[in-house]
Structure formats: C-alpha cells, structure tokens
Chains A and B, each alone.
Chain A
Amino acid sequence: MLELNAGIPEGPVSEAWTKYLDHVKLVGPRNRPSYDVIVVGTGLAGAAAAASLAAQGYKVHVFCFQDSSRRAHSIAAQGGINAPKNYRNDGDSVYRLFYDTQKGGDFRSREANVWRLAEVATGIIDQATAQGVPFAREYGGNVANRSFGGVLVERTFYCRGQTGQQLLLGAYQALQHQVAVGNAVMHPRTEIQDIVNIDGRCRGIVYRCLKTGEIRSMSADAVVLASGGYGNVFFQSTNAFNSNVTAAWRAHKRGAGMANPCMVQIHPTCIPVSGNFQCKLTLMSESLRNDGRVWVPRKEGDTRSPDQIPEAERYYYLEERYPSFGNLVPRDVAARNAKYVCDDGLGIGGRKQVYLDFSDAIKERGHQVIAERYGNLFDMYEEITTESPYQVPMRIFPAVHYCMGGLWVDYGLMTNIPGLWAIGEANFSDHGANRLGASSMMQCLADGYFVLPQTICSDLHDLYRQKVTTEHPEFAKAEADVKDRIHWLMSRQGSRTPMSIHKELGEVMWDYCGMARTADGLQQAMSKIDDLRDAFENDMIVPGSADGTNQALERAGRLGDFLELGHLMCRDAYERNESCGCHFREEHQTDDGEVVRDDENCSHVSVWEWKGKDQPHELTKEALSFDTLPLMTRSYK
C-alpha cells in the first residue's frame, strides 16, 4: 500500500492556499543558487516552472526531446485559457470557476486543488500580458473574451486560434531570458530514461542524448516532471507525434503512484480519420462550438448534400437534448452524443462523422467576423479536407485528446517520492473525470508560474549541504539498467516494426477503453495487450544502431512503456465500477444514455503502485471529500 497524504491545510478550501503560503518554509535568496532543480519537459507547465524557479535564483537544468524548447506540444492548444476576471460583467467569480470545474470533472477531483486553480487563474492573464502575449482586444483596447463548453459565462481569453502558441512563446521567452542570465541551462534533444532514488529521495535522472546516443546522468535536489499526457497510447490522437509517457512511467516504476490512468478525454470536434496510415488526428478548437451548430440528417442513409437538407430534416441533437447549454455542453457529453447518433446510423454518408455548421453564424455576424475568430482553423481544415467551412459544414468526429489521469501528487504537487514533482498534464490533480475546455493551459500555467515556485521550497529548505553527485553508486546502477534495456531493444530482430505494434495497441485501446467501456471488453483488452507485449518482446525489429540518432529505437522504447500503461488503464477502468465524466461504463447509464456515478463506493482517486514486471499493480484509494460543493447529478439540460 502506498502512503498517501495530500497535505491539504485544514479549514475551508477557500483559505487553504493562503494558509499554505503563510506557513511554507522558505529558502532565502542567497541560498537558492546552491540548489539544482531538473525540469523535464518545456510545455506550458515546464517552461513556466523553469523560468520562474530560475528567476528566483535556483540553478535549473531543462530537458526536452525537441531541438528547441519552443516546440513542446502545448504550442498546439488552440482555443483559449479561462480566468474568472468577470470582464464581461456576467456574474463570474472564483467560486463560479471552481463550481464549473468541479462539476465539469464530475466530482472526481480534489476540491482544494480546484479552488486554488480558480484562485490563481486571474494572475495568469496579467502575467502573460506583461510578457507581451498579444491577447485579442476589443476596439476600446480591452481584452476580449469568448465562451467555452460547460459554462454560462464568457471567461475565455484567446489569441486567434493560437492561444497555446502565444502563451507557450511567452513562457519560452521568459525561460530563454533566464538562460541568457545564466540561471537556466537547456538540454535539447535529450530523453529521460530513468529517475534515481537515493535513501528514498529522488536525486536525479539518467538520460539519453538523442543526437549521439550517449547515456548520461545528472544529480539534483529536486526533479520536476512536466512531461505531458499519455494520449498517444491510443496511437491515433491529437497529441504530437513524439508525445510519450516514458518520463512519468519510468518514475512510476521507481515508486511513484499513477492516479486515475483510465480518465482520458475524447475531444468531440476533430477531423475524422481518413486512412489507416494515419496516427495524427487534427483537432478543431472547441471555441468553434460558440458559432457552429452540430447536426446530422434525421433520416438514416441520407445522401443529399447538406445545403439540400431542409431545416426540419436536420437533427440538431445537442440543442434538442440540452436546451440550456446547447452546442456548448462539456466535451464528454458532446463526444458521447456524436457516438450515439453515429451508432444509430445517422453519421454523414453512413460514416462516423457529424456536421459542424457555420452558415447561420456567417449569415448573422458576417464573413469577416467569423474569419477573424476562426480564420486559421478554417484554413487548416480546408488544407486537410479540401472543403471550405465558409461554403460547406465541417465534418467532425471525436478523438483522444487529453489525459486527466497522471502521476499522483499532494497539494504541493510533489509525488509520493520526496523530491520528485509532477506538474501540468503529467499529474492528475485538477480535472477529475473530465476537463472543461480552456482549462488545461490554465492548470499548466498555474502550476508552473504560481504553485510549484511557492511549494518546492517546502521540501528544499532542509536539504542544504546534503549534496549528492553522480559519483554515487545508485547512478552507475541506473545507467547500467538503461544501457541493458537499450541493448535489449537493439537486439530485437523479429519481423514487426515498433509502429505496427503501437498501432494495434491503439486499436485495442480505442475499441475497449475509449468512449464506451464494459467489464467484459476491458478484460478482453487486457489479454489482447498481453499478446501485444509478447509480440513486442519476441517479434519486434529495431533497425540501425544505438550510437547516434535512431528514431525507431526511440519509438520502441516509448512503446514498451505504452504497453504497460495501456494494460493498467484497462485495469483501472475495470475496477472503477461506475460511470463518471469521460469514463463511461455501459453498465452504468440512465435510460437516455447519461452517466450514473456510484458516489458511495467510487468517490476516490485510484492510485496504482508498480509491484514489478509480471506482477499485478496494487491499488490504494485516496478518499475525496465534498465539503464546499455538495455532490449533485451533473445535468446540462
């Protein structure tokens, strides 16, 4: 059993963060330069944390597998970032954002973390503005807002359809500034292979230089994993080609608990799959649902072009089923309903796709307004499909997008291994069973700019003068393990490529652990994954050499971790015997297909402990409490 103590300050959640800050032990400015901090990953969370810690004076080493830290996948986030600024005077507040996030997550997140997120969110907008992030402005010069799914206020800030790009560049530039000052050092084109624990504390990492193939170690006083989500376990997803779970998973195998791994968000508006060679699915921002109307023909097998289908013969299923939220229901609800109408045979052309139609919005607001709001998304869509959304409705279908699950962390964002921290999508803490749109960037930047830089000192302050170097024998041992594993991978000379096995894993995950899950299906999936692990071990081929750039070797290494993770996700989905948010167990639903939670038995975080190869994981439950917002049935009708 894992010993889990979230360490939430006692008292009302609205005062918890202030209380924490008032009592956390600090590290003085003169002492900070003597502490080394490793940050793995340079997305919004990693870059923001690295820049903030370096600016405080810590010595920060930053690792990323890309050639430049500016390329982390946060850059692809499109729609926006939430903050309860109440600029629109429409009743927004910290409580409202807390309420929406907690309800949107279907009551499977920690209240105190969610409250803190809502509390610090306004500061992110001010921080980014000060860095020169060009948020969209109204004609009077004030910052503009739009609305996102699952909420009744306009609190989303945006930079055209490239909000993630601009926020990431803000954090990236702040980090590069710190590199120039000398407080941060970049290690691009490196991939973490293992973490090193000494006397129960994380004291460093082993990594591979992707250009030379060298295996190296680095010691530190704290290691921060900001390595993102594991959506690529599904092979086809909206994640970047190289996004992977390796850093988090290797930490998990060294003792870090993995929390709620089955909680994966399927994004409702992506461009449908067009061929079997495809791994990357392109997302169309949720912001499009502000102006786009989702519909399918009412008649099964209707082959007419959309403009030939009269209004009465169109099924605007979200507007009809959810009159108060309409097209802006949360992602899990929108995705599931797209699946339902397609399962009923109403998908366009008999395929798995539905319309997202802008003709009414263009009529109402004019071409120019729509172009200004979504121009780049429309261009991107046209580039891929050859159809212009200005002329014909978009065709969309759900795709894997975001992982709510991740490494277990306490209130301060430290994992159960002292000295090892997890921030951003890599941790599990804030989104419960479903994340609301425009909340991931909010959480990443909250963690990176405002939470971790305040909490990391709590663990550092008494470490002074207890330096460990890479001369310690544990580093040599970990390096030897890594070299053995790479040697083992290189000696695979079977017939199947890593990508072909990965693709098959993805199909199993999508079919059995995707938008709808059953106990029986999940058991089948686990046994299928066992077969794939067998193929991985006995029939895979890895070309080339380990001494230099070898992308197939990188992929094979990541695949091994995905196979183990996929198995655990199915187990977690199997053990969570309820439906909640994105986790939809067919056994637990209402007559009209809404989720049915089991609050009595399932109001907990499932935290899994690695017990060794071929040993089943062990489950520890962290009970959740609902003192501020009582449990209620989520309804968007």
Chain B
Amino acid sequence: MRIKLHIWRQNGPQAKGDFEVHQLDDVDEDMSFLEMLDVLNEEIIESGGDPVTFDSDCREGICGACSCVINGRPHGPGHKSTTCQIRMRSFNDGDEIWIEPFRSRGFPVVKDLMVDREAFDRIIRAGGFISVHSGPKPDANDIPIPHRIAEEAMDAAECIGCGACVAACPNGSAMLFTGAKVSHLGLLPQGQPERVSRVKSMVDQMDDEGFGACTNYAECQDACPKGISIRFIGRMNRDYLKASLCEPEKVQGQLKGH
C-alpha cells in the first residue's frame, strides 16, 4: 500500500506545531498502525532526521498509553479499539492520513504526538479509591455480590484511562472517565462508606483540571476503546446530586477518614 502521512510535529509544550508530510510506499496491510510509525521512524533515523515521538507500551489495547487522533478521530477508524490495535488494512491504497495528538487543556503536549495525562491521576487521587490498608481482610465471600452488580461494576472498571473521551468531546469533558470510576466503586458494597465524599471530590477535581461539562453529545462513548456507556455519567450525576444535598462538613469529614 502507498500512504501519505500528515504528522503533527511540536518540539515541546510551548513550541508552535505544524504538520509534516511523509510518504510511505510499501506498507503491509497486516501491520498495526504503530508498527507503520515504527517503520517510518527507522527510515527517518537512517536518513539523519528526527523521529516522531509518540506514546505506546502494551500494544494490545489495555495500558492506555497510545493516544493519537487519526483523521479527526481519537484512536482512529476502529470500533472499540485503541490506536495500537488499528491495522493498516483499515485504510486504502493511496490514502492520506492526518495524525495529531489528543487535544485538551488538561493534556499538555510533551512532544509531537505525546501528551501528559497526569490530570487523570489527580482525579483518581481526589477519591477514586477505597481507603483500605494492606493486611488481613474479611473473606472475599463474606459479602456476596450479585452477579449482575459485579458485571455492571466491571463494565465501568474496564476504563483504561487513555483520555479518548476527553479528546472526542466538543466540551473537552472528562465525565466518562470520572463517571466510570465513580460508578465502579459506587456499585460495590465495599465502596459505600466513601460514596458521597468520593463523587463530590472527584467531580470538583475534574473541574479544577479545566475539563468541560457534559452536554450529552455522547461522542465519548463512541470513541471509548472499551465501549464504556454514558449511563455511568448519568449515574455519577445522580450520586453528585445526592452528595450536594449532604452537609458539606460531613462530606469533608468522610474524605479525611474521620
């Protein structure tokens, strides 16, 4: 296959970026998209140029490291797949492909296609956990969890934290990411003690990071490589409303674990 690439090049968070054109004349259709970029980088290095910087790690769609916008779509043309899972057979001979980083105020560009998503870590840090220390715990079967609830929690917990939801949203909202974690923990009996404080502080942190609000475009759900449903945003909104009705001191107290 012959492919023409327009790749976003940007030498640092503050630098001005632009598209750079590369032509590849011998692309194997079984290649993954990132293997195609590997091959391109080998050519660039051999010809004395500066290879394209991009994040990737597991290359099987679970670590959430890879993050490009391909032809205007986060993670490219696949359905429920990450950039690393895209195969070149998704494109046609002679295609032009535009590759950009995820664009969001919350995800500063490090270089070229690489962005930082530490904002997501800070949202988790605000309450996306169950406060337990390591050590002896009640037996896993002491609290039965209905199959349906465990499956529903798992549907939410599958989020890989890639940020495609933010990149896809016209408002740059992180509500699918946040809603998934709030729902995963809020569905389980173990997550009940901190349910109120959790949703309150995670949503507040999400706002502080500069992510926008949800206005039901549902682009996030469409772009999500794990197919996480926007019903979890609805669930989070209901929890948030309930939390707002609680006394603020009480919520604060719970968060600090008193």
Interface residue ranges, A against B (CB under 8 Å): 48, 51-52, 55-56, 66-73, 75-76, 85, 87, 123, 125-132, 134-143, 159-160, 162, 165-166, 169, 172-174, 176-177, 179-180, 186, 188-189, 211, 240-242, 274-275, 277-280, 282-283, 379-380, 383-384, 386, 449-450, 453, 495, 497, 499-500, 541, 543-544, 548-549, 551-552
CB distance from B209 to the nearest CB of A (A): 14
Is B158 in contact with A132, judged by CB distance below 8 angstroms?
no
Please indicate which of the listed interface residues B48, B117, B137, B140 has the most CB atoms of chain A within 10 Å of its own CB: B140
Is A142 in contact with B39, judged by CB distance below 8 angstroms?
no
Q: Which residues of A contact B64 (CB under 8 A)?
A: 68, 70-71
Q: Which residues of A contact B147 (CB under 8 A)?
A: 137-139, 141
- Name the interface residues of B185-220: CB closer than 8 Å to any CB of A: 185, 188, 190-191
CB distance from A481 to the nearest CB of B (A): 26
Query: Top 4 nearest A-B pairs by Cβ distance?
Result: A141-B144, A173-B129, A52-B134, A126-B137
Task: Give me 10 other A-B pairs in contact (C-beta within 8 A), A139-B146, A275-B30 excluded.
Answer: A67-B55, A76-B63, A126-B138, A137-B146, A140-B144, A160-B154, A177-B129, A275-B35, A543-B44, A543-B49
Distance of A450 Cα from B133 Cα, bound (Å): 11
Q: Is B85 an interface residue (CB 8 A)?
A: yes
Distance of A129 Cα from B139 Cα, bound (Å): 9
Partner of B125, one of A131, A176, A541: A176
Q: In the complex, what residue of chain B is closest to A211 when comparing beta carbons?
A: B110
Q: Is B93 an interface residue (CB 8 A)?
A: no
Is A123 in contact with B136, judged by CB distance below 8 angstroms?
yes
Q: In the complex, what residue of chain B is closest to A276 when comparing beta carbons?
A: B28
Distance of A69 Cα from B117 Cα, bound (Å): 11
What 0/1 pattern do residues 30 to 67 of B give for CB contact below 8 A with A?
A: 11100100110110111011110101111111111100
Q: Which residues of A contact B133 (CB under 8 A)?
A: 52, 55-56
Is A136 in contact with B42, judged by CB distance below 8 angstroms?
no
Partner of B157, one of A138, A169, A497: A169
Partner of A497, one of B28, B45, B158: B45
Distance of A351 Cα from B133 Cα, bound (Å): 51
Q: Which residues of A contact B49 (CB under 8 A)?
A: 543
Is B158 in contact with A162, judged by CB distance below 8 angstroms?
yes
Q: Which residues of A contact B81 (CB under 8 A)?
A: 383
Q: Which residues of B contact A279 (CB under 8 A)?
A: 35, 38
Q: Which residues of B contact A135 (CB under 8 A)?
A: 140, 150
Partner of B124, one of A72, A129, A142, A173: A173
- Name the interface residues of B126-150: CB closer than 8 Å to any CB of A: 126, 128-141, 144-147, 149-150
CB distance from B226 to the nearest CB of A (A): 9
List 15 A-B pairs, Cβ < 8 Å.
Answer: A70-B161, A71-B63, A75-B63, A131-B130, A136-B150, A166-B157, A172-B124, A180-B125, A240-B59, A283-B60, A386-B89, A497-B45, A543-B49, A543-B50, A552-B41
Partner of B188, one of A134, A179, A449: A134
Q: Which residues of B contact A70 (CB under 8 A)?
A: 64, 121, 124, 161
Distance of A541 Cα from B150 Cα, bound (Å): 52
Q: In the complex, what residue of chain A is closest to B46 when comparing beta carbons?
A: A497
Q: Which residues of B contact A73 (CB under 8 A)?
A: 57-58, 63
Partner of A173, one of B60, B130, B149: B130
Is A552 in contact with B85, judged by CB distance below 8 angstroms?
no
Distance of A135 Cα from B149 Cα, bound (Å): 11
Q: Is B222 an interface residue (CB 8 A)?
A: no
Q: Is B78 an interface residue (CB 8 A)?
A: yes
Distance of A311 Cα from B182 Cα, bound (Å): 50
Q: Which residues of B contact A140 (CB under 8 A)?
A: 144
What 0/1 pattern do residues 61 to 100 of B give for CB contact below 8 A with A?
A: 1111100000000000010110001010100000000000
Distance of A70 Cα from B123 Cα, bound (Å): 13
Interface residue ranges, B against A (CB under 8 Å): 11-12, 28, 30-32, 35, 38-39, 41-42, 44-46, 48-51, 53, 55-65, 78, 80-81, 85, 87, 89, 110-111, 114-118, 120-121, 124-126, 128-141, 144-147, 149-151, 153-154, 157-158, 160-161, 184-185, 188, 190-191
Partner of A126, one of B48, B56, B136: B136
Distance of A414 Cα from B187 Cα, bound (Å): 40
Distance of A56 Cα from B136 Cα, bound (Å): 14
CB distance from A597 to the nearest CB of B (A): 35
Is B114 in contact with A549, judged by CB distance below 8 angstroms?
yes
Q: Which residues of B contact A180 (CB under 8 A)?
A: 125-126
Partner of B191, one of A51, A132, A136, A278: A132
Q: Which residues of B contact A188 (CB under 8 A)?
A: 118, 121
Is B51 in contact with A544, judged by CB distance below 8 angstroms?
yes
Is B60 in contact with A76, judged by CB distance below 8 angstroms?
yes
Given known A131-B190, A137-B150, A383-B78, contact A142–B129 (CB-CB < 8 A)? no
CB distance from A103 to the nearest CB of B (A): 27
CB distance from B21 to the nearest CB of A (A): 19
Q: Which residues of A contact B35 (CB under 8 A)?
A: 275, 277-279
Q: In the complex, what residue of chain A is closest to B162 when comparing beta carbons?
A: A71
Q: In the complex, what residue of chain A is closest to B55 when comparing beta carbons?
A: A67
Partner of A240, one of B31, B63, B87, B110: B63
CB distance from A68 to the nearest CB of B (A): 5
Partner of B85, one of A274, A383, A544: A383
Q: Which residues of A contact B87 (CB under 8 A)?
A: 383-384
Q: Which residues of A contact B65 (CB under 8 A)?
A: 66-67, 71
Is A177 in contact with B38, judged by CB distance below 8 angstroms?
no
Q: In the complex, what residue of chain B is closest to A171 when comparing beta carbons?
A: B134
Q: Which residues of B contact A379 (CB under 8 A)?
A: 80
Q: Which residues of B contact A500 (CB under 8 A)?
A: 42
Is A176 in contact with B58, judged by CB distance below 8 angstroms?
no
Distance of A307 Cα from B49 Cα, bound (Å): 51
Please indicate which of the listed interface residues A128, A160, A282, A383 has the most CB atoms of chain B within 10 Å of its own CB: A383
Is B62 in contact with A162, judged by CB distance below 8 angstroms?
yes
Q: Which residues of B contact A495 (CB under 8 A)?
A: 46
Q: In the complex, what residue of chain B is closest to A125 when comparing beta carbons?
A: B140
Distance of A25 Cα from B125 Cα, bound (Å): 33
Q: Which residues of A contact B57 (CB under 8 A)?
A: 66, 71, 73, 240-242
Q: In the complex, what residue of chain B is closest to A376 when comparing beta carbons?
A: B158
